Amino acid sequence: MRKSKNEEDPLKLWNPKTKLGLLVSSGKVTSMNEIFENGWKIKEAEIVQTLLPEIKSEVVDAGIVQKQTDAGEMTRFVSIVAVGDGDGWFGIGRGKASQMRTAIEKGTNNALLNLIPIKIGCGSWECKCGRAHSTPFKVRGKGGSVRVELIPGPRGLGLVAGETIKNLLTLAGIEDAWTRTFGSTSTSSSVAYAVYDALKKVHGLSIIEE
């Protein structure tokens, strides 16, 4: 099916509503790094789409939530979406709506607003190549009942992880890493938030002590 003009280039219809949005649309702010270095809050998904046009999204989990009301049973769709440019930017978002497509769109927008920079390095004692391909140190993250541990891997190792975690780390731009998981890892949404929590810590928090 052929896309409409609006679907082909939704940014053409963007009418910025925030000061940062106006700065980005006018070309006065030209990079995501500039936004984070100044501590500015992103409140419009179009800001990210403009500065990172190659950013990709992936539906991590989607399901149905049913609620009993006085009018009867109400069905809603819920989605967990991950976004990333494969080069150091990553986000997770949740969307809920009466239609699955709308829930995914809301999840994607929420993920763009939750975008964070990822610190990529070479923390493996087996490698020390100095190139940005893995995590700079071992780190843990938690989401619900799930805990995820990311361990630096040597160049060429690849991602030793389950499919969900592998896809998330690829979106973030991490190419080589060992991973360990604990808890109810069959819950994809908790796994996604655990990875997100770990990657936030990689950006500048504490190293795990052995």
Does the residue 48 lie in any domain?
yes
Q: What CA–CA distances, in Å, run from 131 to 25, 70, 85?
A: 34, 60, 18
Does the residue 105 lie in any domain?
no
- Which structural domain, as residue segments, surrounds residue 18? 10-53
Does the residue 68 lie in any domain?
no
Q: What CA–CA distances, in Å, run from 16 to 12, 48, 148?
A: 11, 12, 38
Q: In the prediction, which pLDDT does 210 show? A: 36
Does the residue 33 lie in any domain?
yes
Give tens-digit pLDDT for 106-136.
999 999 999 999 999 998 888 878 899 999 9
Which residue ranges in the chain fall short of pLDDT 50? 1-6, 205-210
Domain count, the chain: 1
The CATH number given to whatever domain includes residue 19 is 3.30.160.20
Does the residue 25 lie in any domain?
yes
Q: Say whether pTM exceeds 0.95.
A: no
Strands 139-143 and 116-117: unpaired
Does the residue 47 lie in any domain?
yes
Strand partners, 151: 178
Give tens-digit pLDDT for 68-97.
676 677 889 999 999 999 999 999 999 999
Closest among 56, 58, 44, 40 to 11, alpha carbons compared: 44
Q: In the prediction, which pLDDT does 88 show? A: 94
Q: In the prediction, which pLDDT does 11 show? A: 67
